[in-house]
Amino acid sequence: MRFLIGLIFGIALTIGVAWVIDHTGSGGPESRLVNWDQFEKTVDGVRQSVRRLAE
């Protein structure tokens, strides 16, 4: 159980730090670590897949 909680926390921490770095940097969109538009599309696709499985 600790491993699962640690894994989820680690993923959330990694994404959170990348978001903070991307949104507080002085560079433009070309200097970002993550393509947040693509990330949003991917997360939305995962959500839809989970909803289809839950039905």
Domain boundaries, the chain: 2-54
Q: Which pLDDT tens digit goes with each residue over 35-47?
A: 888 999 999 999 9
Q: Which amino acid is at 12?
A: A
Is the pLDDT assigned to residue 25 strictly greater than 90? no
Is the pLDDT assigned to residue 30 strictly greater than 80? no
Check residues 55 and 13 and name the one with the higher pLDDT. 13
CB burial of 27-54 (b: ≥16 within 10 Å; e: otherwise) equals eeeeeeeeeeeeeeeeeeeeeeeeeeee
pTM above 0.75, yes or no: no
CB 25, CB 32: distance < 8 Å: yes
